[in-house]
Amino acid sequence: MKNYLSNIWVTAKTVTIGMIITFKHLFTRSVTQQYTSEELPEERWKSSIVPDGVLQDRSRMRLHVKIEDCIGCKQCEKVCPVDCITITTEKREKTEAPLFAADGTAIKQKVVQFDIDMSLCCYCQLCVYPCPTECIVMTPEFEFAETLKSNFLYRFAKEKPAPPEPPKEEVAEPVAAGGS
Amino acid sequence: MALKRPALEATISNALSALVVGGAAGAVVVIALIPMIAGLIRDGLAARLTPTMTSVASIAIGVGATVFLITQLPIFLIWLERKIAAHIQDRLGPMRVGWHGVLQSFADGLKLLFKEDIIVDGADKFLFKLAPFLTIMGAFAAFAVLPWGEGLVISNLNIGLLYAIAITSLGAIGILMAGWASNNKYALYGGMRSAAQMVSYEIPTAIVILSVVVQVGSLNLSDVIAAQQGGVGGVTNWFIFRLYGLNVIGFILFFICGLAETNRNPFDIPEAESELVAGFHTEYSGMRFAFFFLAEYGAMFFVAALTAVLFLGGWSGPFFSGPLVLFVKTLALVFVQMWLRWTLPRLRVDQLMALCWKYLIPISFVVLIAAAIDGVVGS
């Protein structure tokens, strides 16, 4: 009997506590941020989603590579769990002028290909952490829908790959021309 | 890219929102003025028609008005429920269709109208088609005995309460029928659970109603309200304040049973979307599904109104009396139903049985016996 009555008491008490909690939440501010307010111009609703243009903590969106800082270490390529990054590098000749990244690291590799396939990207941000020069970053850009899958392939490399070694006959020709 | 909404679309949306909000406000005014309107109509009819025709015509008008109310009301209640649910969970809820999403239910209703009415191959076709209509009939026919004001009742039955108990149970048959006819294991589970729930919950409901009947001495709902009029400020004679506070227990019991009867949380085990897909209406789509939905909200409103009539004085209020008082009381109780739904987790079937047979039935008997003793001693 004692158990019976205490059961009733506990039920009434816990239901009351729960109802008080939910009633308080009824009047707390919603945490939802509306995706877009159609009446507002683009800049304004974007700033309302991302307050002051600053990303929310740990939000992860489209990748961007500051290619002029990239030293071609390929750490991002190795760490990528879905292999969406493809990097090709070429050794810089000693004769070329020394290049430095923004933090002073010497750039010894020429990055001739730096492709990120955003259709594969899983937004894990694992590539961002190991980058020694912090040149691969997550941007606040989140609207990049495309009609063609190939448009998701973002090519960041600026350097052109060195032209293939010309065949020997072709090298010989200008010499012959010079001789005549 | 931000989609620029065409100006025409925005204008239409704003206009419709204004129409709906204005319509709701207008409905409240109309409800407040119902006694006057009804009186005018009755006089007008009596002047032109024979007495028999007058009563037939006034019943027809009453049925029409009630049907209009209980088919339109769920649209508002569904929107309200979604907003309450969202805000309890710190969300915003529907915000896009119209002002704060007031047109969302209309959009959903339109969608359900256009959807294909699928009847599965293995189903018992006749029962499958019949079930939603039985359920909605059970929920809506009950409104026939609900008194909205002095003489404002479609059918002033002298066994009104008995009729209400009987007709609301019809909904459970519809649910069981839907579960069986769907030829789907989840639907069948839902139907079976509904039957088990009905067997348990009709008993305490009936006993609590009996305790009120003992205090009134009549099964007529108009008499129940008449017995609650007067008192200090027109409030103290409500049954909830009588019988040395024992009626408060009766009120809570009846409210709990009402939740179980309308399959609302924490007693929504026939639906149990996390266990049974969608329970008894797993196989339903389109308008037939919408009928189940309407029936649920109609039943909710009726049970809340019945609670208000039995314990909170019905249409008699502290400052003025009339349909609006009953409407406000009912909406307040509906709000509590929704509030509870987003507070409590679902009970297990055995917990539900234990709650019913071990707690609700004995306690309701205590209330009934106390009411009976009080009646004998008092007279």
Instruction: Tell me the ipTM for this assembly.
Output: 0.74
Interchain contact, B5 vs A38, CB within 8 Å: yes
For residues B176 and B205, the answer to whether their CB atoms sit within 8 Å is no
Q: How confident is the model at residue B2 (pLDDT cuts 50, 70, 90)?
A: very low
Residue of A nearest to B87 (CA): A26
Interchain contact, B2 vs A45, CB within 8 Å: yes
Tens-digit pLDDT profile for residues B160-201: 888 888 888 888 888 888 888 888 888 888 888 888 888 888
The minimum CA-CA distance between A6 and chain B, rounded to whole Å, is 12
Q: How confident is the model at residue B110 (pLDDT cuts 50, 70, 90)?
A: confident
pLDDT at A13 (0 to 100): 92
Residue B90 has its nearest CB partner, among A15, A25, A42, at A25
Tens-digit pLDDT profile for residues B205-255: 889 988 888 888 888 888 888 888 777 777 777 878 777 778 888 889 899
Kindly tell me if the per-residue pLDDT of B26 is higher than 50. Answer: yes
Distances (CA, A) of B79 to B84, B101, B201: 9, 8, 28
Residue A30 has its nearest CB partner, among B84, B91, B359, at B91
Share of chain A above pLDDT 70, in %: 75
Kindly tell me if the per-residue pLDDT of A15 is higher than 80. Answer: yes
Interchain contact, A31 vs B90, CB within 8 Å: yes
Say whether residue A180 is in contact with chain B using an 8 A CB cutoff.
no
Tens-digit pLDDT profile for residues A86-139: 888 888 877 777 778 777 788 888 888 888 888 888 888 888 888 888 888 887
Interchain contact, B89 vs A25, CB within 8 Å: yes
Q: How confident is the model at residue A17 (pLDDT cuts 50, 70, 90)?
A: very high
pLDDT at A95 (0 to 100): 78
DSSP letter for each residue of chain A: -HHHHHHHHHHHHHHHHHHHHHHHHHTSPP----S--TTS-HHHHHHHHSGGGPPPTT----EEE-GGG-----HHHHH-TT--EEEEEEEPPTTSPPEE-TTS-EE-EEEEEEEEETTT-----TTTTT-TT--EEE-S------SSGGGGEEE---SPPPPPPPPHHHHHHHHHHHH-
pLDDT at B1 (0 to 100): 39
Q: What is the pTM of this model?
A: 0.75
**Which of B47-61, B143-157, B203-217 is most confident?**
B203-217
pLDDT at A179 (0 to 100): 45
Indicate the range of A34-43, B138-147, B260-269 predicted with least confidence.
A34-43
Share of chain B above pLDDT 90, in %: 1
Interchain contact, B5 vs A34, CB within 8 Å: no
Tens-digit pLDDT profile for residues B247-305: 888 889 899 888 888 888 788 877 777 777 777 888 888 788 888 888 888 888 888 98
Chain B residues touching A45 at Cβ < 8 A: 2
CA–CA dist B145, B158 (Å, integer): 9
Residue of A nearest to B2 (CA): A42
pLDDT at A58 (0 to 100): 65
Q: How confident is the model at residue A33 (pLDDT cuts 50, 70, 90)?
A: low
Determine the average pLDDT of the residues in A14-28: 89
Chain A residues touching B358 at Cβ < 8 A: 4
